[in-house]
Amino acid sequence: MNRPAPTTPTPPAPLFLTTHWSVVADACDPEGPEAVAALEELCGSYWMPLYLAVRRFGHSPEGSEDLTQEFFARLLEKGWLRAADREKGRFRTFLMVALKRFLANEWHRERTARRGGGFDAVPLDTELAERLYAGSGSHLLSPEQLFDKRWALTLIETALVRMEGEYDEAGRGGEFALLKPCLTAGRGGIDYRELAAALGLGEGAARVAVHRIRKRFRSLFREEIARTVRDEAEVEEEMRALMAALGT
């Protein structure tokens, strides 16, 4: 007898107790107790798109790592984040414009011996970044296109981590592992009979499970996008732009 289709896990308490823009606000105050931690959080989330863009601008792997670290340090030291006003639009646009200005001013300078503002360098997995850079057709993209593509992937990965956490919290990590590939499967790309057998469900129930996980993923992805734009009205437009970036 087939088990009923599993329901989507009840979302746990939000993983982000503060909004994206409140993190930016904390990082804007170099004297505040949360400034360094907030900047490290932003760096941990968004260094990869910036690093790949710096590489595409023609810098070496070592130079790109130094410049990416220094860019985040300058955001804190020089108070550049004060310009990242939610009312002015997308955070990714702000970061890209700030990065280009930074590189234009830094190309002739030596790397400073000490980073300002008490900001300790965040470890960057440049080995992974270089593999992505080499294998992503980066030479065919502009720095801006490469930045946007990796930005979109970063938000997708964050949404997936959150979804996996929800399934794990509900004791259904194995189910998530079986359903996760369905998120990227194209039309006709899912063998529902095989999936149903693996889940211990009927084929109809398996289809329902796939529909639910896709719906939940889209919701989480929207939430991640909403954290980086001005208001709800921009979410759909930003989602379309990021999907287009993934297709480059």
pLDDT digits (tens, 9 = 90+) for 157-213: 999 999 999 999 999 999 999 999 999 888 889 999 999 999 999 999 999 999 999
Residue 65, pLDDT above cutoff 50: yes
More confident residue, 40 or 87: 40
Residue 217, pLDDT above cutoff 50: yes
What pLDDT, on the 0 to 100 scale, is given for residue 14? 34
Q: Is the pTM of this model over 0.85?
A: no
Which of 83-97, 99-113, 199-213 has the highest average model confidence (pLDDT)?
A: 199-213
Residue 109, pLDDT above cutoff 80: no
More confident residue, 100 or 228: 100
| Average pLDDT over every residue of 149-163 | 92
Q: Tell me, yes or no, whether 213 lies in a domain.
A: yes
Scored b (16 or more CB within 10 A) or e, 48-83 reads: bbbbbbbbbbebeeeebbbbbbbbbbbbbbeebbee
Q: Tell me, yes or no, whether 15 lies in a domain.
A: no
What distance in Å separates the CA atoms of residue 149 and residue 10, rounded to the nearest whole number?
31
Residue 120, pLDDT above cutoff 60: no
Q: Tell me, yes or no, whether 182 lies in a domain.
A: yes
Local confidence band at 18 (pLDDT 50, 70, 90 cut-offs): very low
Scored b (16 or more CB within 10 A) or e, 210-233 reads: bebbeebbeebbbbbbbbbbbeee
What distance in Å separates the CA atoms of residue 73 and residue 210, rounded to the nearest whole number?
43
Q: Tell me, yes or no, whether 5 lies in a domain.
A: no
| Average pLDDT over every residue of 27-50 | 72
What pLDDT, on the 0 to 100 scale, is given for residue 108? 53
What pLDDT, on the 0 to 100 scale, is given for residue 86? 56
More confident residue, 17 or 103: 103
| Average pLDDT over every residue of 74-82 | 72
What pLDDT, on the 0 to 100 scale, is given for residue 187? 83
What pLDDT, on the 0 to 100 scale, is given for residue 3? 58
Domain count, the chain: 1
Q: Tell me, yes or no, whether 135 lies in a domain.
A: yes
What are the phi and psi torsion angles at 78 (to 5°)?
Answer: -95, -5
Q: Tell me, yes or no, whether 11 lies in a domain.
A: no
Mean model confidence pLDDT for the chain: 79
Tell me the residue range of the domain where 218 lies: 20-246
Give 201's strand partners. 3
Q: Tell me, yes or no, whether 123 lies in a domain.
A: yes
| Average pLDDT over every residue of 132-141 | 78
Q: Tell me, yes or no, whether 136 lies in a domain.
A: yes
